[in-house]
Amino acid sequence: MPEIQSAETPNGKHLPSHAKVVIIGGGVVGCSILFHLAKFGWKDAVLLERNELTSGSSWHAAGQIHTISSDPNISRLQSYTIDLYREIEETSGHSVGLHITGGFYLASNKTWYDYLKRERSKARYMGLHQEFISPQEVADRHPLIDPKHYLAALWDDQDGDLDPSGATYAFAKSARHHGAQYFTHTPVTATTQRADGSWDVTTPRGVINAEHIVNCGGLWAREVGHMQGVHLPVQPMEHHYLLTEDIPEVAAAESRLPCGIDYEANIYFRQERKGLLLGTYEQKGTPWKVGGTPWDFGHELLPPNLDQIADRLEFAFDRIPVLGEVGIRQAINGPFTFGPDGNPMIGPVPGMRNYWCAVGVMAGFCQGGGVGLTMAEWMIDGEPGIDVWAMDVARFGDWATPDWGTVKSTENYERRFVMTFPNETLPKGRLQKTTALYDRLVAKGARMGQSFGLEHALWFADGPEDAHEEPTFERNRSHDYVAREVAAVQNAVGGIEIANFAKHDFRGPGARAFLERVLAGRLPAPGRLSLTPMLTEKGKLYGDLTVGCLAEDHFMLFGSGAMQEAHRRWFTRALPDDVTYANVSDDWHGVALSGPQSRALLARITRDDVSADALRFRDIRRTFVGGVPVILNRLSFSGELGFEIYCRPHHLLRLAEAVEEAGAVLGYRWYGARALMSLRLEKGWGAWGLEYRPDFDAVAAGLDGFIDFSKEFTGKAATEALRAKGPASRLVTLTIDVDGIDVSGDEAILKDGAAIGYVSSGGYAHRVGRSMAMGYVTAESAAPGTAVQVETLGEMYGAVVEGGPVYDPGGARMRG
């Protein structure tokens, strides 16, 4: 191809012919990424904006900033974002209009009070500045609020507001200060990938060849993705907020009033000039331009529809009475983009080379700085500084279609200020993926959940009409049902569907050598299984996998179903020519049998000798079970004797029928994910996304014993250094002295009144009759027998660090 010539843009700058990175979209997120890339050393970065900066959603954002988020690491990044504004204001010389007023989160009933107690517990171990204040203190700090409606409020001194346009331009000008460039009135009309993996980005002003491109399209994220066949499940939503006329009490205040959120009323508010800004997320959201955002949409607003928010306004007038007495100066209705779960979608897009996205960042002025930091670290260093799975675009697969995205994004918009309880399953966007057993299990009383789009059983009631529960923070009605499932696994035999485990297929003469480098553990011989961590270059955990060797040149890896696309992205980064790889998760469904009678049941439905000597612990083989071809693993995550039986989806129903028929006389019972999570707690086995995640290394997680240090593997040098230094924190198992309530995750662990760690997961351990948890604590507090406390719903409960599995510590039952 001939050299691409530079073209002059309307502001007189020349469009370069080449760049390290081209960012598409000039909102706060794109400008933040540009700034961070340039600050960290990638000066050859270019941002292209179709109109003026902020022309999408950024210019009409409410500008309220806060740190609270459902995910602790997003909260950390929101805190980072707020602290960053002073730096970019100084670097750019452009005011961001920052007002750090502090803010409160208002609880008007016990449920919301309990929610805020959980948030306060998270804040303890995260080092955030959050404290409870009384309703009277709320009124003292914000005299327009009627305190009689509230039980308590959580105060955060870092909250406040800013000027959205000012903040966006400050990021852009700071990026230019560090050497980057941005071009306005330069729309991207095409993205075309060359054979070398680089991209030609076409504009009316010329073409830029870039090593990487980043879709920061905001309202146009879908359209930018369509240029390259990427279908992002995001949806612009209409959103209202109001600006009042001047309020005498505000005008007379000696200092700026704090901002606030009232969860039950579903409103947020802050001072705006001498009045108030009042925003709400209506109970029935309105998707905007489902078919696509017009390219000519710019600095425009939508016609307001106050009837849509009338019920929210009644709440607001009741709780801030002056709102009913002053006029509305302006009603703002502007679109902004939501993702299916309300969190951003960022990172390298699976299946694409050098194509990145940062879209669906609905809280752009809370999260934009953190997203920019994360993206720059990821692009420059190869991995983010902290675990950002809650924002990773790979948490969605091709099942997350545009239609599904609209349904779920609307649901999430409507639930913006509605908590999701630990035991709650959301109703919209269901049945996106099901197995052949779905109807059968539902008929038997299965309460279903959804993971990576797939329906799976959580627990089993007495029948479909009984398969319900009330959302709660306390021990829920599934407790006794889960207890009988655990009893069946402990005393007889239980079966759980395992379609939602990921399966990765590697074949070819170079498969073993490739996996030796990618995986830290020992690879098995043909016919055997092994367990191994997978690490990043910095030694952080990126996988916890079971490796099955079906032949010397054929391996099957089993792991987290939710991580399957992230792992596909990881495996295909540098796949050699003599290895073929496929994510075959949807090609293998199956049933896992667990319990002392599981071998007897298996023997009834296979012609193989499945005795302990003939089918050893950690064997894998191809055979026939229940009259269908299967892959049979002698393995169990329950801590009991067990077998995993994988078959093709079209054989699953026949396999399940054979299991049920043979198990009828052996006490067979189906069990669900909640029982499995209880069973593994007593063994001290971590789960991916809870105990095992990229925030931690193999040493802290106690997985270094599975590593083969005699070979070369990704992350070896970092892991050896971590071992020599010793971890700052360690994963431990706790028993907790509490009754009627169990931890679920993110609760603070304390010793002598100071936070020393947090709970990664927990629940009731039915076999030993104890409430338990797993979590990370400082290394000096990890010794067995150490007495600590766990904060649950605002109360401190005594707990003890256990020295190993509290059930069958020698593993005799599992090995059979």
Question: Could you read off the pLDDT of 47-76 as tens digits, one per residue?
Answer: 999 999 999 999 999 999 999 888 999 999
**SS3 at position 44:** coil
Burial of 268 (0-12, 13-18, 19+ CB in 10 A): buried
Beta strands in 520-659 (DSSP E): 529-535, 541-551, 554-559, 580-583, 589-594, 620-625, 628-633, 642-647
Are 460 and 447 in contact by the 8 Å Cβ rule? The answer is yes
In this structure, the dihedral spanned by the alpha carbons of residues 105, 109, 115 and 117, taken in order and rounded to 10 degrees, is: 80
Q: In 3D, which of 58, 47, 62 has the Cα closest to residue 299? A: 58
Distances (CA, A) of 160 to 100, 362, 625: 4, 17, 62
Residues (pLDDT < 50) of the chain are 1-8, 10
d(CA 197, CA 271): 49
Distances (CA, A) of 151 to 23, 105, 138, 316: 47, 11, 11, 17
**SS3 at position 627:** coil
Residues 328-363 pLDDT 10s: 999 999 999 999 999 999 999 999 999 999 999 999
pLDDT of residue 334: 96
Query: Please, how many CA atoms are within 13 Å of residue 215, restricted to the half-sphere of its CB?
Result: 32
d(CA 99, CA 29): 20
